[in-house]
Structure formats: C-alpha cells, structure tokens
Amino acid sequence: MALRNIRTEGDPILGKISKPVWEVTPKIKELIGDMLETMYNANGVGLAAVQVGILKRIVVIDVSEEGNDPIILINPEIIDKSGSQTGMEGCLSVPGKNGIVTRAEHVKVKAFDQNMKVFEIEGDELLARAFQHELDHLDGILYTSKVEGELEASED
Ligand code: NI
C-alpha cells in the first residue's frame, strides 16, 4: 500500500462526477488499500476516490475511535434518510477549515462490497454525516457549498 496525494479545493477534478465501478480488479483493490492508508495517515474519517484523483464511485469511511473499523462502499446510494442534524464538518480536501452543515440524522445506504455483492448499511449522527459528505464527493459536491454562515479556521 502507498499514500496518495490528496487533491485540494481549487483542483477541478473535485467538481467532477465519478463513474460507477463494474469490476473489482487488482488495481481497484490496491486503490482501496491506498485510500484507507491515506485517510488514516491524514486523521480523516472518510475519503472518496476522487480526492486522490480517481473518478470512480468508491468511498472509505471509519468513524471509530480506534480507527480499526473501515467501511468500504462501491457505487453507494442513499436509499433512505430521516431527521436532521446541524454540526461542524471538515474535509481533507479543504485543509484547515470547518463549517456548519445541516444533514439528515439517519441514513440508509446501499452499496457493493469488494466482491461486488450488494449490501445495506445504516448510520446515525457522525456516521450518517460521513455517508452524506462522502457520497456528495462522488457527484462533485464539496461541503463548502452547503455551509451555513462562514467557513472557520479549524484548530488542527
Ligand atoms: Ni470531504
């Protein structure tokens, strides 16, 4: 595995729509491993393939405290959402900034795993926020377009 370069705001690729994955090739497996390593190395809780310059509908997320519970989503779709939460959000592609975003409180996601088997996963609170934030990346949307008020400087 290897670290990949994280694209940052202003890079036009972040505004592009990612393409579905039809087959999990060795190259895609390598990409997923690299995405996890890159996310953990940057202390992030989620990363979309577009953020490392690959326009494929792949997301990795880990909101666990220990950072040992990765969720890998291929071609994910939100199939249900409910409630509302308003809170601080950040993005590895927008370093040093935070902003307030309102998201659904609970979401259900349908996706494929690395064996291209379909599965469903539900999340609340931070996990629900991560699902929504990361899936937005696949459609070229950054959280900065949804921030209420001003972007703030983050503490880290
Ligand atoms: Ni992000």
Task: For residue 108, give the CATH number of its domain.
Answer: 3.90.45.10
Q: What's residue 156's pLDDT?
A: 60
Please indicate, yes or no, if residue 4 is contained in any of the structural domains.
no
Whether 134 is catalytic:
yes
Residue 64: domain span: 12-153
What percentage of the chain has pLDDT greater than the value 90? Answer: 94
Q: Single out the catalytic residue among 134, 148, 150, 152.
A: 134
Q: In the predicted model, what is the mean pLDDT of residues 40-65?
A: 97
73, 59 contact by CB (below 8 A): yes
Q: Across the chain, what does the average pLDDT equal? A: 96
> How many structural domains are present in the chain?
1
Model confidence at 141: pLDDT above 90 = yes
User: Residue 121 above 70 pLDDT?
Assistant: yes
Ligand 1 mean position, distance from CA 23 (Å): 25
Segment 60-78 shows an average pLDDT of: 96
> Does residue 147 form part of some domain?
yes
Domain assignment present for 82? yes
